[in-house]
Amino acid sequence: MATSLITYRECLKQAIREALQGDERVFLMGEDVGHYGGAFAVSKGLLQEFGPERIMDTPLSEAGFTGAGIGAALGGMRPIVEIMTINFSLLALDQIANNAATLLHMSGGQLNVPLVIRMSAGIGRQLAAQHSHSWEPLFAHLPGLRVLSVGTHEDARYMLAPALLDPDPVIIFEYTSMLNLEQELQPVEGGVDISKAKIRREGKDISIITYGTGVYKALEAAAELAAAGIEAEVVDLRVLRPLDDETILASVTKTSRAIIVEDASRSVSVSSEVSARITENCFYDLDAPVQRLCGAEVPIPYPKHLEDAAVPQPAQIVSAIKKLLQHA
């Protein structure tokens, strides 16, 4: 099948355009998504193509327009709510946690909320402590949500379609630092499976379990390790809630070693949960303790060299794995 070089940003835009073309119930709403073309130019041109009833600029009120999205979903629409950056999502957390995530349960199964909320997340581009956050664990903690992490161009292009088919609320984390990154994109027939993690590289010596911006870092580290004779398997979690235990545990059982990489800080993190599940379910298959390589426990600094030092980098992944394997 043919491949093409494409940016992460363009993958996101193509996914939204395809959703709008395929279902008249789908519409995009959020701050600056229309006339401005999106804070990160993801929706640029869509207002002209689909009109103001499908591409809706909203007031600067995350609680207000997220609540409107929930109401539209309850009314039979398929809204895509864009929260500009993850730090602003805290302003909508009441609507997300106390309404979207709970209505199905509290209505005795009568009220589904088929809502997709997209938000930019992650560390990078020198956005400092105001806008650089890897708060995926906050949302992965909430029952009633499906929480997805877009760590590759493939998922940027194909994850939205199945999310819109889900009868319940879906949170999709996209990564600002990856917007201009170009990769070859292989067409995926039938979309991607948003219930499963994915093995991005096969290996036999250790499992690198990661998500989001950690995926390409892990693949880069795995390529370097391969040159040293170490075959690392890269597991892209993709789905942070509910976690795909089957894929995680099968990989660790095969390799007998695991390191979990994420930009979020170690305390009460996705890596904490994954580590616990590995230890609970396949302890006797391990040849070494589970390792975690996580972000620093600090508000993210502005200077580039300190920003880079605050989150795991490929060289650190390589070093940690060589140490774990006691490899020179």
The SS3 call for residue 100 is: helix
Is the separation of the CB atoms in 213 and 178 below 8 Å?
yes
Q: Cα(243)–Cα(234) distance, rounded to whole angstroms?
A: 16
Judge whether 327 counts as a catalytic residue: no
Whether the Cβ atoms of residue 88 and residue 62 lie closer than 8 Å to each other: yes
Query: How far from the centroid of its chain's Cα atoms is residue 237's Cα?
Result: 9
Dist. CA 212–CA 149, nearest whole Å: 6
CB distance 176 to 40 below 8 Å? yes
Rounded to the nearest 5 degrees, what angle is found at the Cα of 69, between the Cα atoms of 66 and 71?
Answer: 115
Whole-Å CA distances, 23 to 28, 157, 189, 194? 12, 17, 18, 19
SS3 content of the chain, % helix, strand, coil (to 5): 40, 20, 35
Give the other-Cβ count within 10 Å of 296's Cβ.
16
**What is the CA 158 to chain-centroid distance, rounded?**
13
Whether 131 is catalytic is yes
Asked if the bond preceding 242 is cis, omega within 30° of 0, the reply is yes
Q: Which listed residue (10, 31, 62, 154) is catalytic?
A: 62
Query: How far, in Å, CA of 57 to CA of 111, rounded?
Result: 27
Catalytic residue among 131, 133, 153, 154: 131
Residues noted as catalytic: 62, 131
